[in-house]
Structure 1
Amino acid sequence: MCGRASTSGPDGMSPNLSAVQILTLGSPSIAALFALSFLVLSRQSDSARYLKVLAASFLLFAAASLVQILGIPQDAGWNAVISAGLYAGCVILLGDGVLGRSGLGLGLAVKIIAFVSIVGGICYFYYGSNDIIARVYVLNFGCAAVLLIAAARLTRLLRGRPMERVLFWLFLAFALSFFPRTWLTLGQVHAGMGARAFGTSSFWVALHLTVVLFGIALAVVLILAATMDRIEDLKRERNEDPLTGLLNRRGFHEHAAAWERRRERPLSLIACDVDHFKQINDRYGHAAGDQVLRRTASLVARLLRAGDVASRMGGEEFLILLPGTDAAEARALAQEMRKAIETERYAGLSEGLRITASFGVAQMEPRESMADLAARVDRLLYAAKRHGRNRVEVGSLTPSADSTDAGRH
């Protein structure tokens, strides 16, 4: 990325490729290969847009490199402007693609200002003041600025998984590398340097080698991150209830087993069941019933703290796992949930119809298994149904005291 002139010969024809040019032809080939990899990954991912943006970025880099290496178009001015535009687009899409993985973006204003500034600067320092050194500064420092803006918005990755942190620091290093690389090699470039000499200069070689090395490292990390994202998506699909977005039975048991192995105390469990749900389905239809379940799940999830786990176990029953919570705290939370459900107005139901839910609450005992705790809160839930519904039943420290044979509908 240097805003150089075309390498065409004085007779207007492209010269024979030099050893340096043959070497640097590897960079567009590698970029095109990674672009293809991103496109393949995008077909396997639900969040495909950012992968397509990254593919476009690497394709633009390949195109820009070929424009410079092959001297197409042969007019030196057009070659400089077109290659600068392609490089600017490449960097803008790279920043936008990496940000897109985190649900962020550069923003339209930043993209327009960056592109116009870089291409406009190249035009001015070619046609207005033919200064190759100024063009080097404009293109390289302009690209660095775009990447640094993206890096500043990526700081949230520092709180993520190790792969996220590797991606952030590598991306930041790539952005910062434009400055020392330009300063260290600019001594090999002078204002009167011809196009052919520039194309074989140490600046040109250093530029492409460092860009290729950083590009390979960044692409590999992005591909690994995208693969891990896909694995997480598949795991989430396997463990998530599609109707409510809460964990399903499988997901709950995985989380519960992990907490049981840790044996951290206190730990409490809440069972919640929507009252008279079958009647709601029969009277208003399954669409209305689904709406009740979605809204109930949303109300429950809204009251949870970090670390709490809510799941839909099937039908109208929910389980909420509360690490670090004793029975009194769990009871208070269940009461909040009960009141929130009771006072909520549900679309598609008769005016004045109240939806209520019953709750069973228990704290895990010292030698109690998770399965026994779940059975105990289930019995407490039956008791809440038996005692009139729309209430919270809290377990004692003696499991047998919680037993009841009442039905729950």
Structure 2
Amino acid sequence: MTGVKLFTLLNPSIGLIFTLVFVLLWLNQKHRVYILLMGGACFAFSLAMLVQIFQIPPDVGANTLLANVLYLGSLGLFTESVSRRVGVRGSYVGSLVISAGIFLSVFNFFYIDRDLHTRIFVVSTGFCIFLCYAALRMRLAGRTQPIDRVIFWLLLLAGLHFLPRAVLTLMMDGTLTSDAFGRSMFWTGLNFSLIVIVLMLCLTFLLAITLDIIEDLRTERNRDALVPLLNRRGFEEQASAYLARALPERACLVFCDIDHFKAINDTYGHGVGDGVIRAFGRWIGEAVRRDDVAGRIGGEEFAILLPGAAVSDAARFCERLRLRVQEGEEGIIPAPWQVTSSFGIAERRFGDTLAELMARADQRLYAAKRNGRNRVEG
């Protein structure tokens, strides 16, 4: 086996190693289908390289078509994997259209208008379009995390790097046969650049998966076990991060809880009490905006940070929520008990820490309790 062939075996070897890594990762994260798709992309890429290196099948035309089908399948799986990771579905439609165009062109320039250089030009241009399409799908997701920006630029650069390959191919000696072209330094250089690209993309994607898992663990740690809101730690982390920003933006913090909750537990039991807390948490989740921070900070007590809100805005928000709680929901608690809630509002002052803001909101909440409950104090 020649040194050139050994060198070309690096690509499929790397692809198979990453296939194994992605499959093992997916076995531990089966809800992340995009990991399995990436493993399939690496496997199809490796098979395509092996088909070319070992001339399987030996017929040049069949070998060319089979290798291109595998390459196109690899790129299609890769694009779908990248898209699914950022929550964009339906990439396979565009992938099928691009794949069909490339395949028909390869078929034409091999069996009808035989032209090696034009065929390689078409394939290189097609791969450029494929990777730029994957980058576009990522851009559509609107994700702004650093790792997502890195993947976007890597995809774009990987795609654009095929353009000079395509142009240089047309500039080469048109009398070269397929065998001579495969042994040329130009082709060896193309394989080396492909090794670098595959390594960069796969390693970056592995890093993205790792960060996704860490983020999910952090989110799970910060979610309340009973209601679809943050727990106290999660609330304090997010609210503190907001207050720490050097912004003169106004904000209000709301403390609220369920009136006479101990009596509910004593009268109907903790099962009914938990049901009331779950309903209250759900109503808060339905009432808050996207940028608001809401969490259960203890027992039946909740906190809501309202960025950009004045006291009057927060009071209207609390009144709507208070009425929603008062209206209740059938089956939450036996009649004739009516669940009510109390609210305290504190407006952010310049230089406020979260602890200071929470202390003032807590004082307003106790004022609402003293003044008869089922009311808003701000």
TM-score by length of 1: 0.79
Q: CA deviation at 1:228?
A: 1.7
Residue 154 of structure 1: SS of its match in structure 2? helix
Q: CA deviation at 1:77?
A: 1.8
Structure 2 partner of 1:393: 377
Structure 2 partner of 1:235: 218
Q: Do the aligned partners of 2:118 and 2:170 also contact (CA within 8 Å) in 1?
A: no
Structure 2 partner of 1:244: 227
Structure 2 partner of 1:39: 23
- When residues 383 and 88 of structure 1 are mapped into structure 2, their CA distance, relative to the original with a 3 A threshold, is same
- Please list the CA deviations of residues 77-110 of structure 1 after superposition, one character each: whole Å capped at 9, or x if unmatched: 2211110111001111111111111011343432
Give the Cα separation in 2 of the matches to 1:323 and 1:67. Answer: 59
Question: Which amino acid letter does the alignment assign opposite residue 319 of structure 1?
Answer: A
Give the Cα separation in 1 of the matches to 2:239 and 2:257. Answer: 19
Q: Do the aligned partners of 1:299 and 1:337 also contact (CA within 8 Å) in 2?
A: yes
Give the Cα separation in 2 of the matches to 1:284 and 1:74. Answer: 79
Give the Cα separation in 2 of the matches to 1:347 and 1:97. Answer: 44
Structure 2: where are the runs of 5+ without partners? none
- When residues 188 and 282 of structure 1 are mapped into structure 2, their CA distance, relative to the original with a 3 A threshold, is farther
Cα RMSD of the aligned pairs, angstroms, is 3.2
- When residues 248 and 72 of structure 1 are mapped into structure 2, their CA distance, relative to the original with a 3 A threshold, is same
- When residues 262 and 108 of structure 1 are mapped into structure 2, their CA distance, relative to the original with a 3 A threshold, is closer
Question: Which amino acid letter does the alignment assign opposite residue 93 of structure 1?
Answer: L
Residue 253 of structure 2: SS of its match in structure 1? strand
Q: CA deviation at 1:245?
A: 3.0
Give the Cα separation in 2 of the matches to 1:336 and 1:315. Answer: 22
Give the Cα separation in 2 of the matches to 1:61 and 1:181. Answer: 19
Structure 2 partner of 1:176: 160
Q: CA deviation at 1:181?
A: 1.2
Give the Cα separation in 1 of the matches to 2:87 and 2:321. Answer: 31
- When residues 69 and 363 of structure 1 are mapped into structure 2, their CA distance, relative to the original with a 3 A threshold, is same
After TM superposition, what 4+ stretches of structure 1 lie above 4 angstroms from structure 2?
Answer: 43-47, 156-159, 259-267, 276-295, 343-355, 364-369
Question: Which amino acid letter does the alignment assign opposite residue 204 of structure 1?
Answer: W
Q: Does 1:117 align with 2:101?
A: yes
- When residues 281 and 55 of structure 1 are mapped into structure 2, their CA distance, relative to the original with a 3 A threshold, is farther
Q: CA deviation at 1:283?
A: 8.4
Residue 161 of structure 2: SS of its match in structure 1? helix
**Deviates most, 357-366 or 367-376:** 367-376
Structure 2 partner of 1:199: 182
Q: CA deviation at 1:388?
A: 3.9
Structure 2 partner of 1:165: 149
Q: CA deviation at 1:345?
A: 4.3
Structure 2 partner of 1:224: 207
Residue 57 of structure 2: SS of its match in structure 1? coil
Structure 2 partner of 1:320: 304
Query: What is the aligned length?
Result: 377
Structure 1 partner of 2:365: 381
Structure 2 partner of 1:67: 51
Question: Which amino acid letter does the alignment assign opposite residue 246 of structure 1?
Answer: L
Q: Does 1:361 align with 2:309?
A: no
- Please list the CA deviations of residues 5-32 of structure 1 after superposition, one character each: whole Å capped at 9, or x if unmatched: xxxxxxxxxxxx3332221111111222
Give the Cα separation in 2 of the matches to 1:126 and 1:373. Answer: 73
Q: Do the aligned partners of 1:310 and 1:319 also contact (CA within 8 Å) in 2?
A: yes
**Deviates most, 298-307 or 219-228:** 298-307
Higher helix share: 2
Residue 235 of structure 2: SS of its match in structure 1? helix
The 5 Å alignment of 1:221-370 reads 221-259=204-242, 266-275=250-259, 293-305=277-289, 307-343=291-327, 345=329, 355-364=339-348, 370=354
Q: Do the aligned partners of 1:167 and 1:218 also contact (CA within 8 Å) in 2?
A: yes
Q: CA deviation at 1:246?
A: 1.6
TM-score by length of 2: 0.85
Match of 1:133 among 102, 109, 117: 117
Q: Do the aligned partners of 2:125 and 2:162 also contact (CA within 8 Å) in 1?
A: yes
- Please list the CA deviations of residues 216-269 of structure 1 after superposition, one character each: whole Å capped at 9, or x if unmatched: 112222122222222211111111124433211111222344456558664432
**Deviates most, 224-233 or 92-101:** 224-233
Question: Which amino acid letter does the alignment assign opposite residue 315 of structure 1?
Answer: G
Structure 1 partner of 2:68: 84
Question: Which amino acid letter does the alignment assign opposite residue 235 of structure 2?
Answer: F
Structure 1 partner of 2:12: 28
Q: Do the aligned partners of 2:26 and 2:36 also contact (CA within 8 Å) in 1?
A: yes
- When residues 189 and 21 of structure 1 are mapped into structure 2, their CA distance, relative to the original with a 3 A threshold, is farther
- When residues 276 and 136 of structure 1 are mapped into structure 2, their CA distance, relative to the original with a 3 A threshold, is farther
Question: Which amino acid letter does the alignment assign opposite residue 384 of structure 1?
Answer: A
Give the Cα separation in 2 of the matches to 1:54 and 1:302. Answer: 36
Give the Cα separation in 2 of the matches to 1:120 and 1:259. Answer: 55
Q: Do the aligned partners of 1:158 and 1:165 also contact (CA within 8 Å) in 2?
A: no
- When residues 182 and 259 of structure 1 are mapped into structure 2, their CA distance, relative to the original with a 3 A threshold, is closer
Structure 1 partner of 2:81: 97
- When residues 109 and 351 of structure 1 are mapped into structure 2, their CA distance, relative to the original with a 3 A threshold, is farther
